[in-house]
Amino acid sequence: MQEKLSKMLEEAKEQLNKAASLADTEEIRVKVLGKKGQLTEILRSMGKLPPEEKKALGMAANKVKAEFEQLLAEKAAEVKAKAKEAKFKAEKIDVTEPGKEIAYGVKHPITQTIDEVVEIFKSMGYAVYEGPDVDTVYNTFDALNSPENHPARDMTDTFYINEDMVLRPHTSSAEIRAELELPLPYKVLIPGRCYRVDTPDATHSPTFHQIEMMVIGEDITMGDLKGSLDHMAKRLFGPETRTKFRPSHFPFTEPSAEMDVSCFKCGGKGCPVCKGSGWIEILGCGMTHPHVHQAGGIDIEKYTGFAVGMGVERIAMLKYGIDDIRFLYENDMRFIEQFK
């Protein structure tokens, strides 16, 4: 019997050495300690032995059992630890591995320019107002102090939908709508698409964008106009930028001016960008003509205001060094992606 016990323990040790999983160790446990296990059988057969032998064998069997149980527990802990490690290895995430590239879109340089100008004026309390691309001839010309015989109404100037409707040639068409709709005083930007009968070339496109700027209130002066635009120029083209206002003429403003900015490329010394003059023409502006305010139902004794119209493409082309306006409309991703 003693021999049998030793042999059984040796066998169990051997098997435990080979065990690679918890299922293996459980199988060995059942083989030894299960209902029909080897040790269980030995203990059961002890009943027939004389008392002295029974006692000696009982002690030996308990010793073997204790040793086996300890070995079993150690092995079980070992395979459990190994399994855990293997799991960690399998599920390991390499945080240094480069991720999958996500294709980000990019805002069109025209949209970027509009956003930038809107952002600048938002910080000065301006709101955004929008008018329709197709507007009445009245809103587009008559109400803006361009009577029927005015050169600006030349049939070739814009696209006529019918006698009374046009594709707006300027965002100024929305001025009358704003005057009739908005409570006074107000400061708005009116960005949008405009249309003119132009043959496309490096600087002309039949479709283009403008941002109209419009302020109406009490005691609004040319000084307010100049200050606002000077601030915009410095934010758009850099803090060193200087501005210059030249007298001009527009039917809807009086007095009217064109604003130049000091060349942001050469700082005013003269270069190809500014054609050697040191200055770059940016926009037209002026104090809103009383006739326009009257058309919009504004009390001209109480209120004054100013209006500005700037070409988005012109600003984008200057800012980003684009030398042909047609690049902006070709939707060539190689061009657009440069503005990320």
- Contact residues toward Zn ion (CB under 5 A) are 263, 265-266, 271, 273-274
CA–CA separation, 259 and 310 (whole Å): 10
Handedness of CA 131, 136, 140, 145 (dihedral sign): negative
> Of the two residues 203 and 221, which places its CB atom closer to Zn ion in the complex?
203
**For the residues of 83-131, what is the DSSP string, one character each?**
HHHHHHHHT---TTSPPPPP------HHHHHHHHHHHHHHTTT-EE---
Diameter of the chain measured on Cα atoms: 137
CB of 261 to Zn ion, least distance (A): 10
CB of 272 to Zn ion, least distance (A): 7
> Of the two residues 234 and 265, which places its CB atom closer to Zn ion in the complex?
265
Residue 224: closest CA among 211, 210, 236, 214: 214
> Of the two residues 280 and 298, which places its CB atom closer to Zn ion in the complex?
280
First-last CA distance in the chain: 86
The DSSP secondary-structure symbol of 67 reads H
CB of 288 to Zn ion, least distance (A): 32
> What is the SS3 assignment for 162?
coil
> Of the two residues 188 and 263, which places its CB atom closer to Zn ion in the complex?
263
> Of the two residues 129 and 237, which places its CB atom closer to Zn ion in the complex?
237
CB of 321 to Zn ion, least distance (A): 12
CB of 319 to Zn ion, least distance (A): 14
CB of 241 to Zn ion, least distance (A): 12
> Of the two residues 49 and 266, which places its CB atom closer to Zn ion in the complex?
266
Residue closest to Zn ion when measured from CB atoms: 263
CB of 237 to Zn ion, least distance (A): 11
**For the residues of 281-340, what is the DSSP string, one character each?**
EEEEEEEEPHHHHHHTT--TTT-EEEEEEEEHHHHHHHHHT---GGGGGS--HHHHGGG-
Compute the C-alpha angle 100/101/105, nearest 5°.
Answer: 145
Do residues 44 and 80 make contact, with C-beta atoms less than 8 angstroms apart?
A: no
> Of the two residues 242 and 265, which places its CB atom closer to Zn ion in the complex?
265
